[in-house]
Amino acid sequence: MTVLNRWDSGSNVGEFDGHSRRVLSCAFKPTRPFRIVSVGEDFLVNFYEGPPFKFKQSHRDHTNFVNCLSSEDAHTGSIYAVSWSPDSKQVLTVSADKTAKIWNISEDFNGTVAKTLPCPGSGGVEDMLVGCLWQNDYVVTVSLGGTIYLYSASDLDKEPTILCGHMKNVNSLVVLKSSRPETILSSSYDGLIFKWLRGSGYSGKMERKDKNQIRCIAAVDEEIMSSGFDNMVWRIPLTGDQCGEANVVDIGTQPKDLSLSINNHELALIAIEEGVVLLRGTQILSTIKLGFIVSACSMAPDGTEAIVGGQDGKLHIYSVNGDSLTEEAVLEKHRGAITVIHYSPDVSMFASADANREAVVWDRVTREVKLKNMLYHTSRINSLAWSPDNTMVATGSLDTCVILYDISKPASSRITIKGANLGGVFAVAFVDENTVVSSGEDACIRLWQITPP
């Protein structure tokens, strides 16, 4: 039972019964004769007259929960949020029907629809509008998928400014440095890829027909390669600002890491549990078992060399000959499973990191350690990146920190960015020689300007 009281005196002006389960919504007619309607989980629509309000009649036409009440021009779905205009003469509402409505409120508190704002999205469930705010000259709506639409209240016919971002942890970053301004692609495990422009931020969502989960991505200006938690590798061409028709390769087992040959991106190396897979385009050249548990891999830009890291902490260097690998050397320095390997931009060096919080920079020709004692993280290193001028290495760790090392100086002269991403840093990349971008568990992407100590 529900009791209705006057707001100014607290006196009882009616009692509502007649529902056997929870009431989900109600509506009040604020002009005489006063009426109240309630709906609930018992499939009923009850009508009350007053004051004092008493049960009048009930309708039993619904066959499921009755979620909302509406009138002509009203929303056709549940209303999730309401916000008044600054002058209290209009009300903004948003609904599961994927629209926002602005209502003119008369002196007798009746409302008429002044403007309906459809959600500019694709029309999916993620476009249901669940939040709103009317702040000064701005009308703001928020969708279930986390997209924010910013309208000008004085010109509602103008296209809204769209702000969007990840809702889940961001596990991969790629910087397309040939574009100006620099373009950053980010992916989260829920299958979303976003595009960001340096200096302006959000630049759009890379729409894909298949919403498969993403574990890691590699990209060049013309193509994105991604892998998830199934047996598939996706080669997605970039057509302008959007993704083209994806080519899918079933490699027969779950990928653990992937690397593109930058100078010939048709050639790719995929790490799997027992070895690697060589791809040329969508053709599997070979599946090679290596005799150890693989945890990471990297292919040289020219496609002639590959480095494969093992669960045992060893780095295996192979020459690539067509569809086969020939082992050239095994490097032992790490004390934990290899998590990431990257060549320097000039290919004169490569760097590796492990689950035991250590990173190492190697000379590619001599295969000797070039920078050691990079042991300043307190947890697993998830990501590693080289600066464009080959002078710095950045590492991102589960300890939430990004550490920058100048390879011409001892590791102790590092620069540490503490708390770069709460919950852990999953990806790190250089935008230019003085700017680093990081992402992680907190679903945020942050740019950091490097200031030498």
Percent of the chain scoring above 70 in pLDDT: 95
CATH class belonging to 170-449: mainly beta
> Does the 79-163 domain belong in CATH 3.40.50.300?
no
Instruction: Give the span between the Cα atoms of 354 and 79, in whole angstroms.
Output: 50
pTM: 0.78
Beta strands 445-449 and 435-440 are antiparallel
Q: What pLDDT shows up at residue 73?
A: 67
Rounded Cα distance, 130 and 141, in Å = 8
Same CATH fold, 170-449 and 79-163? no
What pLDDT score was predicted for residue 316? Answer: 98
Q: Where does the pLDDT of residue 69 fall: very low under 50, low under 70, confident under 90, or very high at 90 and above?
A: low
pLDDT score of 298 = 96
The answer to whether residue 107 scores a pLDDT higher than 90 is no
| CA atoms 219, 222, 228, 230: torsion sign | negative
Residue-range domain boundaries for the chain: 2-59, 79-163, 170-449
Q: What is the pLDDT of residue 7?
A: 65
Report CA-CA distances (Å) from 430 to 174, 359, 434.
9, 17, 8
User: Which tokens in the block code for residue 11?
Assistant: 């006196």
In sign, the C-alpha dihedral spanning 363, 368, 373, 374 is positive
Cα 202 to chain centroid distance, Å, stands at 12
> For 372-406, what is each residue's pLDDT tens digit?
999 999 999 999 999 999 999 999 999 999 999 99
Number of neighbours of residue 390 by Cβ within 10 angstroms: 15
State how far the Cα of 215 lies from the Cα of 253, in Å rounded to an integer: 14
Instruction: Name the residue type at position 249.
Output: V
pLDDT at 71 over 70: no
Six-digit token pair at 340?
Answer: 């990431």
* pLDDT at site 2: 67
Q: How many CA atoms lie less than 13 Å away from 340 in the CB half-sphere? A: 25
Number of C-beta neighbours around residue 237 at 10 A: 13
Instruction: Please give the single-letter amino acid code of residue 293.
Output: I
Q: Kindly report, residue by residue over 136-191, the tens digit of the pLDDT.
A: 999 999 998 889 999 999 999 999 998 888 989 999 999 987 777 888 999 998 88
pLDDT at 61 over 80: no
In three-state secondary structure terms, 126 is helix
Cα atoms in the Cβ-side hemisphere of radius 13 Å centred on 190: 11
User: Under a CB-based contact definition with an 8 Å cutoff, are residues 294 and 275 in contact?
Assistant: yes
Q: Does the structure show a pLDDT above 90 at 307?
A: yes
- Residue that has been written with the tokens 């760790």 in this structure: 397
Residues 6+ apart with CB under 8 A from 223: 235, 236, 237, 238, 260, 265
Stretch 58-79: mean pLDDT: 72
Q: What is the pLDDT of residues 403-444, one digit of tens each?
A: 999 999 999 999 999 999 999 999 999 999 999 999 999 999
* Per-residue pLDDT, 290: 96
